[in-house]
Structures are given as structure tokens and as C-alpha cells.
Structure 1
């Protein structure tokens, strides 16, 4: 039996985070058109949408046509999640979450993706530079690690959903690990140049597919972090190919970044949040005399902090201590982080112990104790 614990003077509010499809009690049955295969399928649209940030997802759920490649091509689980979630944010700038429905990519299959990710010397469709030997190898790293595709559907007057937008994310290596074990750093300027050139080729190839001549395409360039990184990379550039355009245009910077807290003291941009985070940790140290590690990951957009996730591994022995500590944490989350989204996860060797989720500006966090 699980229970939700409300703090004194605070209401418990359910908050969901992440990109999750909305599942409501009622669903609308419609027909999905597939221009490429000339077939129609019955799909369901949920009535309930969590909020305007998330897309409704048609069911039955269709997995990505290239599913499986992402795990082998992207270094960390953090990058895997952010490559998809970040592309959703870019897509929402062009495909309104109120009028479009989300579906994983159905048009770049595994065979096509592998061909495009190959070196041009091993596959004529390869977008990565040809193989090089000796000293030249450092000048020809593999830039493109993975291709993420997302589809956006709209509802027609005939109660049919059809493809009305596509987003393509290009996950690019910030570090290339050569066969002989070298770590080759790739500069941002090189990544941008290579990414834009690859994006133009991909848009042109998508336009050649039947039914894609008039489909708007969003492109995002994603810089993935090094192996073993504990914060994800981010999208750094985006562009848009409108109906009929064979190349993306209007490239602009995406100013997003994840920062591990506490951040290095010499980084001025994060001095204020460092101070706040240190005070939050000091309150925890004062409450619980044993050592408690507190790890924060802040998400910044346009140099302003949007959200923070905090992991707190503990070694408590009793549920009473967990409950008391969680109540203490919730009150101090409100105190120190009033105007940003916060998620706090308390874990032990036994697994998850507690979860606290608070929306920016809210004094009503969602508090859950696992096992009650």
C-alpha cells in the first residue's frame, strides 16, 4: 500500500516530469494515413493532456523505425534522454503541442540510419568522412554518432491523422575515441560546420521520399558529452526547412546547458546558484550529522536556470527517519528554490526511498515515500 504524505499547511499536487504520453479515460478513434505505403490504420487519441508542454501521443504506440541504434551510438543514458527531450522542445517552437500529436520516427529505418552514419569510404550514403590512416586519422574523426527522428501528426476534417511535420536531431561527437585509444577533441566550430553540411544532405534525402515534398522539417544539432559524463549534452543549433525547401535555413543558436552542482567556483555565471545550493546542502548537513552526499544538476536556458534535479543517496535504517528527512527536505526545497522546477530523489542501497517534485512558484510540492 502506497501513501502520499502532505506537509503541514501544504497540499499534495501530482506533478509529472519528462516526455510521457497522456493517457486519459476516453480516447478518440481516428484513421492514420501513411502516404509512403498508401495504407490507413485506426489509431486512438487520448482526451487528456498533462499540460501544454507535452504532446498527446497516438496509440497504439509505434516504436522508432531505427530503435536500438541509440544505445550503441550515444555514450551515456543522460545523452540518450536529452537528445530526444531536447528535440521535443525545439519541435514545439514550430509544431504547437495543442494541435499536433507525437509519434516516434517511422521513416528513417535501421538500415537507412546505419548507412547514413557510416563513413563515406565504406558506404556511398555515409555522412561521416572517409577512413584515414596514421596522422590523418585525427583530422577525420567520426562526427555524426546518431540520428533521431520524430514525427508530428495533425487531425483532418475527415477524422484522419496525417504526417504534418518531422524533426531530425543529429547527435554529434564532442570527443572521438580512435581505434588506438586516443581521445580526439572536436571544436564547437568544426561540429557546427559538419552538422550543417550533414543536415542539408539529410533534408534533401527526406525530400526525395514520396509524400515528403511538402512536410516541414525541424533540424537540431546535439553535442553529446564524453563517456562516463554524469550530465547530458545539449542542442546548440537549430534550423527549419519549410514546405518544399531542399535545405534548412535560418540557423540560430540554442543556448541551453546542463551544469553539475556545485559548479567550479571560478565560473561567474553560476555563482548565485552555487551559493543557494551550498546553503541547501548546509541545512541538510545540520539536520543529519552523518555524511550525506548531495548532487545537483541544473538546466540553464538563455543563461537562466530553468530547473534542477537533486540526487541524495542515504543510509537510513528506519522508515521514520526517511519520512522525517523527506518532510525536512520538502520545506527547504520551497525555501531555497522558490522560482524554479525542482525534483529531489532520495535513494539508498535498497532503491528509491522518496521523491519530491515542485513546480516553479508553487508552495505545494508532490511528496511520495516509497513503500507506504
Structure 2
């Protein structure tokens, strides 16, 4: 049973390196009707998995999103890529219940449209077969002056007029329409924004000149609210998106090389047939343990982690280090992920140490969801512990 559960968990972790979590769904074979607004798709449900997370129901014959893979060109930090996608699913659950909706990657915003929207509003509208307005959404710049400027002047212009919108993610949510078919029930959109603007200028010899600018958080958010409204206006242009709810999430990325991802800071649910956006604050954030920031903002939690760390150090002489990543929701730990790199001399040590860590997790984190990866090297996991506060026993697997 544990091996079966482990396979499920590992599958979900692998899929997070792409654009979807475990519940990959399909565009399906389409039963075309006279009206595109009533487009139905054949639905062959797959039984849901019994896992630590609540996932959307799946449909057989997965078909990827039309912009799949494009996100890596907009969001540079790998951990941000995963969080933008999975975080949007979390926000969507309040509107699109996992009991009533199926998940599907975006099928409406094409790659070329995303690229055009990420351009500057001063640039010429990009070409696309899509009916969406193709004008760029990022702040304008004097294109003629930029073209004629030297390298230093170009860098100055980019620094003074930073791009803020980094990427756009679309997710579709389908619901039953009878006769084993599904239809679009709603759409979710994530707008990801830079906290630091990284830019590159190429000189006449083809050499690259790089620069960066830390952006004012309040100015980025002000821009984000306006951009979110404009994106909703554009989505309503599509006949199939005029009468469905739209969930919008605004995401602030972390800087390059960050050990924890950025976070969603605002969301809105636009009712079917409407365009007006009313923003609500999202109180989510990630913290790295141990760190000065975690100690300053969550002193008690930091003290607990430090004591957890000390217990391991005292028990095991070949201890190397313990690091944690916690997702806070409404100022409380929603999930803690812990990594423990060790030097083992045999399988017996792995078993003994895993049992002890599992005991400590239950002692120090009885009310939190905790995942522990015990490693002997960067790429070799020796054992896995998943502790769910709603269950008496942890899921433990020794490889």
C-alpha cells in the first residue's frame, strides 16, 4: 500500500516540473454543435487518487495546453514556475469545486498571443490568428529613440521603464453536461509579475550587456491591478468566454536564485457575463528555515524548527544539515517541506534514522502537513515521510 501511495506522490512531483500537477486532463474529442458557446466534449472520468492533496478529477486522453512550455521563457526561476501553476489551482478551488469540475490546461490563449501581450504597449501589435487584441501590456517606451540609442542609453531607458508583467497562465475548468460529456464551466488566469527586472542589450558586435533593477513593490501591484482588469476585458472578447466565471490571480515572483518561490498577493472572481474586477488580498507567503526572515516574522515557528534541528544533531553523528520550506496561509503554516542530507554507512542506519525523524515530526508538527525527504546526496533520496494531521500514521517509504 505504501509503495502504491509513493508512486502517486512521485508522479505528482515529476509532473510539477512541467506545467501540470498529477491531474492531467484532456481537451478531448469534441462533439461539435451549431453554437461554439455550447461546445461539449466527451468525458471519460478517471477515479480520483487518495493522496495528501485534494486534486481535480481527471479525464482520459490528456491533451496539453496550447501554450505548454512557454512559461519557461517568461518566468526564470524554476520554483516560481511550479508555484504559479499549482498556486492558481489552489485559488481556483474556492470557485471551481474539485467535486464538480475537471481540470484542463488552457486552450484559448495561444503562444503568440502570450508573447504579444508580454510586449510593450508602445510596440506594434503582434500578429496572431487569435481574435484577442494583440497589443502589449507592459509599460511603453520610446521605440524610435531606443532603436537609435547606443548601449548605455538603451540600458538607461530599460532601467527607467522596466517591464513588469512576466507571464500569463491559463487554466480551464470543465463540468458535466450530461451524456458522458463535459463543457467549459470557467477559466482561471494567473498574471506573474517581476520583483526584479533583468534586461539585456546587444551591441553592434553582438556582445551582451546585462542589467537589473529592483522594482518598487507598491508600483508593481498598482500596475498589476490595472493589467488584470485589461486582461479580463480581452478575455470577454472570445465568444466561449463571455458567459463563464473568470478567476484571476496576481503573482509576485522572487529574484533569481531564490530558495523559496514568490507568492500570490491578490485574486478576484469575475462573475459570468461581467467584466468588473474587485480585488481581494491573498495572505500567502513562503519562508525558508532557518533564516533571519523566518525568525523575525515567525519567531515561535523558527524556535520549533531550531529545536527539531538540534534533536537530529544530537541523535545522529553524521548529520549534515536540515532545511525547511514552509507555505504560510493566513499567517499559519499550511505545509512544511523538510530536506535532510545525511551520510549513511548502511541501510540499517537509514531505517533507524527515518523512524526517529518520523517520531520527531509527530512531536514537533502534530497539526501541520509535513513532507520530509532524507537524502544521501543531492539526487539520491533514501527515504520519504509524509505526515498528515488528519491521519494517525505517517506515510513512510524507504527506498
Bin of the TM-score, shorter chain as denominator length: 0.7 to 0.9
Per-residue deviation at 1:123? Answer: 3.8
Per-residue deviation at 1:106? Answer: 0.7
**2-side partners of 1:174 and 1:184: how far apart?**
9
Q: Aligned residue for 1:353? A: 382
**2-side partners of 1:14 and 1:147: how far apart?**
31
Per-residue deviation at 1:85? Answer: 0.9
Instruction: Identify the match of residue 22 of structure 2 among 20, 23, 32.
Output: 20
Q: Aligned residue for 1:9? A: none
Instruction: Identify the match of residue 214 of structure 1 among 243, 246, 268.
Output: 243
**What TM-score do the two structures reach when normalised by structure 1?**
0.88
**1-side partners of 2:138 and 2:24: how far apart?**
38
Determine if contact 2:43/2:180 at 8 Å carries over to the other structure: no
Are 1:126 and 2:158 counterparts? no
Q: Aligned residue for 2:223? A: 194
Q: Aligned residue for 1:8? A: none
**2-side partners of 1:185 and 1:78: how far apart?**
19
Give the gaps of 5 or more residues in structure 1: 5-11, 24-28
Determine if contact 1:95/1:165 at 8 Å carries over to the other structure: yes
Cα distance change of structure 1 residues 182 and 88 upon mapping to structure 2, 3 Å threshold? same
Per-residue deviation at 1:361? Answer: 4.6
Spell out the pairing of 1:16-165 with structure 2 (5 A cutoff): 16=9, 19-21=21-23, 36=36, 41-50=41-50, 53-124=54-125, 125-131=135-141, 134=153, 135-165=156-186
**What TM-score do the two structures reach when normalised by structure 2?**
0.82
**2-side partners of 1:293 and 1:205: how far apart?**
49
Instruction: Identify the match of residue 316 of structure 2 among 288, 293, 308.
Output: 288
Determine if contact 2:102/2:175 at 8 Å carries over to the other structure: yes
Which has the higher relative contact order, 1 or 2, with Cα contacts under 8 A spaced 6 or more apart? Answer: 1
Determine if contact 1:20/1:54 at 8 Å carries over to the other structure: yes
Q: Aligned residue for 1:225? A: 254
Per-residue deviation at 1:64? Answer: 1.4
Q: Aligned residue for 2:394? A: 365
Give the gaps of 5 or more residues in structure 2: 14-20, 126-134, 147-152, 201-208
Cα distance change of structure 1 residues 31 and 181 upon mapping to structure 2, 3 Å threshold? closer
**1-side partners of 2:73 and 2:44: how far apart?**
32
Spell out the pairing of 1:215-254 with structure 2 (5 A cutoff): 215-247=244-276, 249-254=277-282
Determine if contact 2:288/2:294 at 8 Å carries over to the other structure: no
Q: CA deviation digits over 1:97-122, x for unaligned, max 9?
A: 11111001111111111111112233
**2-side partners of 1:360 and 1:302: how far apart?**
18
**2-side partners of 1:265 and 1:360: how far apart?**
26
**1-side partners of 2:8 and 2:241: how far apart?**
37
SS at match of 2:292: coil
**2-side partners of 1:50 and 1:117: how far apart?**
39
